[in-house]
Structure 1
Amino acid sequence: MAAVKEFTLPDLGEGLTEAEIVRWLVEVGEVVTVDQPLVEVETAKAVVEVPCPYGGVVTARFGAQGDTLSVGRPLVTVAVGADAGVAAAATAGSAEGAESVQGDGSAEGSGNVLVGYGTGAATARRRSRIKAVSAAVDHAPPVPPEREAAAVRGGTHPDGGPVAVISPLVRRLAREKGLDLRALTGSGPDGLIMRADVDRAAGAGAGTTRAAVATTEARPAAEGEVRVPLRGILGAVAEKLSRSRREIPDATCWVDADATELLAARAAMNAAAGDGGTRISVLALMARIVTAALARHPELNASVDTARGEIVRLPAVHLGFAAQTERGLVVPVVRDAQARTTAQLSAEMARLTEAARTGTLTPAELTGGTFTLNNYGVFGVDGSTPILNHPEAGMLGVGRIAAKPWVRQGELAVRQVVQLSFTFDHRVCDGGTAGGFLRFVADCVQDPAVLLAAV
């Protein structure tokens, strides 16, 4: 006898509460196996594949490309057991309907789309099944449907978790307006909180909202105008950079350095490694120099706890480095960089860069950095004054390495010169410490023997 299992969007870790569907990897009616990827979703941290916990036939998919689903919402239903094919055929009609339901729960409509949810008794039965499946997996008693429904209507969650909202924008608006989402009553399906709910609670009212819409519609869009939603990774980066600029009093100092000897040392290391050895990148050498500099200035491997008014100095260097991808700039993190050799740093940075380009970085590989290395020289520019990667206190920038006239030992020569910049949180250190850090980095670039003497 076949049973239909309903699989919900799982907890993706790192405190993430929702994800946007990038693309489906299976079709309704397709046979799937345990751990087979079902869908590719984008969170605020990364693009990840969600595997199926069941083997059987997909009978329904919930959500379309571009939809944002909260953790715990249905993703698919799967018929499992000997009669899975029969169950799939019997539910084909409902599967088709599930993928076509749209609406935002309001009479006027806002353009928001929520796919795969019914109303009334059908919704209650579905939510009960979801909780029952979760309870069986977690070996915990399910939340009674009546208590859950009452909690959702009241704007709270029965287990104290995050409140369901239609999009990350709504959560951000509530935070900016100083509203507690748990005190709001959502007007969307299953008590989902919409933007209009936040506007009403903030005193804007429906009239203000309609006036704002009318104003927007009255201004014609320019020919060829393109609007890109700030959501997913792009939205998370925008929010983080904005927060950094609001909270951190940053400053930048810079210096030019002769990198000729560093490039010669790299060439010698790669020649000694041979064809089968790990190739050492310039970025890996800079990472090794950074870890040595932070060992001399540990106060820079830190963050500021504004709530408690404390500077938090961190024991391990989790080194982030900027990587450009088709989906925008991401910052993978090399864990415990201070404990790795130059070859190990090069191999790990190459692995993370490839994962960034293919969109397979995990949330854990994109979070927890304590210091960032920014190689903007790959774009052919000399210098920059970057925004710190909140809540980190420091970022070393590396410009392009180019042949320039340089005075060496009293004579003018053509050397390979690089501009180095150091952006720092002025709450954590003063200019003397920042200058000392950057000077040590420059000395190591100009004479790699300085680095050998420091370790």
Structure 2
Amino acid sequence: MPTIKTFLLPDLGEGLTDAELLTWQVAVGDTVTLNQIIAEVETAKASVELPSPYAGTVVALHAEEGSTVDVGSPFIDIETADEAGGPTAVPSSTSNGESGEPGGRTPVLVGYGVAAEGTTRRARRSATPTPQPAATTAALPSRTPQLPTRPLAAPPVRFTAKQHGIDLADVEPTGGQGQVTRGDLERFLTSIGTEPAVTESTDQTAPPNAEEERTPIKGVRKHTAAAMVRSAFTAPHVTEFVDVDVTPTMDLLDELRENKYFAGIRLTPLALVAKALLVALRTNPTLNSSWDEEAQEIVTKRYVNLGIAAATPRGLMVPNIKNAQALGLRELAVALKELTLTAKEGKTGPADLADGTITITNVGVFGVDAGTPILNPGEAAILAFGSIRRRPWEHRGEIALRSITTLSLSFDHRLVDGEQGSKFLATMADILSDPMSLIALS
């Protein structure tokens, strides 16, 4: 006998309490297979694709795109044909990676399910949420009525349409995914002789202002803001600066780019700075540590998970390269390229953002010379790499135009004292001003 299974939004990792629903990949009435992607959600850490834990027919969607869903609340109802009434859920993985079920189904983790063979992703669609059934095991009629789908539109556009009594189905959409944009709605209102109204602010203490735009703080940006506040007011920050003549490093970079060993590899100044940092940590390991408040201990790591601050359309993210200390310069350059491309495409996963030990922020790509970066929470240090500029500089007793950059090191003064921070920064400067030592020590 068919039964209804209610899929509750799971904990997507690291104690997260909610997630924003970005898009539904299915609509009411659709048939889904086990592990088929049903939705994309954004947590405070990353964007995650949710696989279906059941095979069957979609009966109800419990959230609208753009809304925030609490962990443990109903997410989707699926009618299954499981006659025994038991769950057709995703199998649990075992220590050897096997499912433990007959047939050897591939186990999946939340957000990274593998669709069943032959399954293709449906076009993004949005449907009106429907109430949760009174009982998740109640039988349904053999034929479930199809509920109408709603036009795609952002919440502010829906609110404005509601103000004017407009059915968005009457508005011609021009958005990339077939959604009705603000411009589409304004053109429609103009065509029927109605002036678009200014959306009222939810803050009743402030008057509406057509010259202001309000952006909800949620997802990655919300997490980043909270993390930076905690870091700034928990770890006592100290920042030191050093100007470095990196002309020899830039010359070496030109030579390496012509070397056949680096053919097809995008070798950048950041790769050499990252390699210099990894070498400098060998004699200055305190910079690669963390503070254990509960145990009142300093934890010095023998591994380096190198974080790279990346500006993405979804906000600041700091994915990290695991065990970067084990990589040669070529492998490090490849890892940096993959990391930044993945971040810009919005495909960085929660695991890529976890367990960083030290971070580099490349402010030089924005033409900035120096800064006082805030520590990534849980780390002892962060290095800001400034722009490389041609400047007059003393060289061998004469003034010459040289390639100069500024390194800014912020560190947690509970973990790193002034001498340790200064020695680390001086080591970095020595390596970049004489990069042959970088090759010798790598």
Superposed, which structure 2 residues align to 1:274-285 within 5 Å? 276-285=263-272
Post-superposition offset of 1:420: 0.7
Distance 1:450 1:394 in 2: 23
Distance 1:100 1:33 in 2: 21
Distance 2:315 2:385 in 1: 19
Post-superposition offset of 1:231: 1.7
Superposed, which structure 2 residues align to 1:277-296 within 5 Å? 277-296=264-283
The verdict on how the C-alpha distance between 1:275 and 1:343 changes in structure 2, with shifts beyond 3 A counting, is: closer
Distance 2:298 2:82 in 1: 61
Distance 1:326 1:81 in 2: 42
Post-superposition offset of 1:270: 2.2
Partner in structure 1 of residue 54 of structure 2: 54
Superposed, which structure 2 residues align to 1:195-214 within 5 Å? none
Q: Which amino acid aligns with 1:380?
A: G
- Kept after mapping to 2: 8 A contact 1:43/1:232: yes
User: Secondary structure of the equivalent of 2:299?
Assistant: strand
User: Secondary structure of the equivalent of 1:217?
Assistant: coil
Partner in structure 2 of residue 406 of structure 1: 393
Post-superposition offset of 1:117: 4.7
- Kept after mapping to 2: 8 A contact 1:54/1:78: yes
Q: Which structure 1 residue ranges, 5 or more long, are not aligned?
A: 84-97, 102-115, 130-214
- Kept after mapping to 2: 8 A contact 1:322/1:330: yes
Partner in structure 2 of residue 37 of structure 1: 37
Post-superposition offset of 1:280: 2.0
Q: Alignment partner for residue 296 of structure 2, among 292, 301, 309?
A: 309
Post-superposition offset of 1:417: 1.1
Q: Does residue 369 in structure 1 map to residue 356 in structure 2?
A: yes
Distance 1:221 1:308 in 2: 51
Q: How many corresponding residue pairs?
A: 337
Partner in structure 2 of residue 27 of structure 1: 27
RMSD: 2.4
Distance 2:275 2:418 in 1: 23
Superposed, which structure 2 residues align to 1:13-24 within 5 Å? 13-24=13-24
Residues 212-234 of structure 1 show CA distances to partners (whole Å, capped at 9, x for unaligned) of xxx95243244422222222111
Post-superposition offset of 1:5: 3.0
- Kept after mapping to 1: 8 A contact 2:248/2:435: yes
Post-superposition offset of 1:388: 0.9
Q: Which amino acid aligns with 2:282?
A: A
Q: Which amino acid aligns with 2:360?
A: L
Partner in structure 2 of residue 424 of structure 1: 411
User: Secondary structure of the equivalent of 1:294?
Assistant: helix
The verdict on how the C-alpha distance between 1:61 and 1:100 changes in structure 2, with shifts beyond 3 A counting, is: closer
Post-superposition offset of 1:289: 0.9
Partner in structure 1 of residue 221 of structure 2: 234
Distance 2:261 2:61 in 1: 52
Distance 2:232 2:400 in 1: 41
Post-superposition offset of 1:14: 2.1
User: Secondary structure of the equivalent of 1:400?
Assistant: coil
Partner in structure 1 of residue 425 of structure 2: 438
Partner in structure 2 of residue 7 of structure 1: 7
- Kept after mapping to 2: 8 A contact 1:48/1:359: no
The structure with the greater share of residues assigned to helix is: 1
Distance 1:70 1:216 in 2: 24
The verdict on how the C-alpha distance between 1:275 and 1:33 changes in structure 2, with shifts beyond 3 A counting, is: farther
Q: Alignment partner for residue 332 of structure 1, among 308, 319, 338?
A: 319
The verdict on how the C-alpha distance between 1:344 and 1:237 changes in structure 2, with shifts beyond 3 A counting, is: same
Q: Which amino acid aligns with 1:400?
A: S
Distance 1:230 1:218 in 2: 19
Distance 2:209 2:407 in 1: 41
Q: Which amino acid aligns with 1:13?
A: G
Distance 2:209 2:268 in 1: 45
- Kept after mapping to 2: 8 A contact 1:251/1:423: yes
Q: Which amino acid aligns with 1:64?
A: E
Partner in structure 2 of residue 415 of structure 1: 402
Distance 1:421 1:34 in 2: 50
Residues 203-254 of structure 1 show CA distances to partners (whole Å, capped at 9, x for unaligned) of xxxxxxxxxxxx9524324442222222211111001000011111111111
Distance 1:413 1:16 in 2: 55
User: Secondary structure of the equivalent of 2:204?
Assistant: helix
Post-superposition offset of 1:100: 4.6
- Kept after mapping to 2: 8 A contact 1:256/1:417: yes
Partner in structure 2 of residue 138 of structure 1: none
Distance 2:82 2:421 in 1: 68
Distance 2:230 2:68 in 1: 23
Distance 2:220 2:25 in 1: 21
Partner in structure 1 of residue 342 of structure 2: 355
Q: Give the TM-score normalised by structure 2.
A: 0.71
Percent identity reads 41
Post-superposition offset of 1:290: 0.8
Partner in structure 2 of residue 272 of structure 1: 259
Partner in structure 2 of residue 176 of structure 1: none
- Kept after mapping to 2: 8 A contact 1:273/1:279: no
Distance 2:237 2:2 in 1: 61
